Amino acid sequence: MGMEQTLIILKPDAVQRGLMGKILSRFEEKGLKVVGAKFMQISQELAATHYCDHKERPFYAGLVNFMTSSPVLVMALEGVGAIAICRSMMGATFGSQADAGTIRGDFGVSNSFNLVHGSDSTEAATKELGLFFTEGEIISWNRASEGWVYDLSGDEPE
């Protein structure tokens, strides 16, 4: 498992509840690196494109309306195994079913509002990052603490 990037969206409920800093801190404290971030209002068109796989599902219209109802914080995070790590940190989809210690388990109870979106595969991450970030908005940079996050003694960070 190598270095990878993933898209994380702090959804309208996270923004409105003032949880952006707490959630972002969890990802950074885990050792993930922020390589892109923007506070934005998602348009109906962007939400429809992002959630197009759900177009035939009964919750689609409500999901698009929810995601466009308030600003969101969109982030590109980087790390070894970042996608799986973020998914694990987020917890089960529904806050009422998410384990304590996860973002949704600690901050959520709703089965409608689940605070955070994270890419579920490398293919999805590539597609989603391309939807929300343009060329030059994801920045490759060296973090001074990298050697304290990963064992860099071999050929690959571990």
What are the tens digits of pLDDT across the range 91-138?
A: 999 999 999 999 999 999 998 899 999 999 999 999 999 999 999 999
pLDDT average, residue stretch 68-92 = 98
Assess whether pLDDT exceeds 70 at residue 1: no
The answer, as to whether pTM is greater than 0.85, is yes
Strands 72-80 and 33-40, how do they pair? antiparallel
Catalytic residue among 11, 50, 104, 117: 117
50 catalytic, yes or no?
no
Nearest-Å Rg of the Cα atoms of the chain is 16
Domain 3-148 has CATH 3.30.70.141: yes
Is 35 within 8 Å of 76 (Cβ atoms)? yes
Q: What are the sequence ranges of the domains in the chain? A: 3-148
Largest interatomic CA distance in the chain: 50
For residue 131, what is the DSSP state? Answer: H
Q: Which long-range contacts (CB under 8 A, 24 or more apart) does 98-104 make?
A: 103/23, 103/26
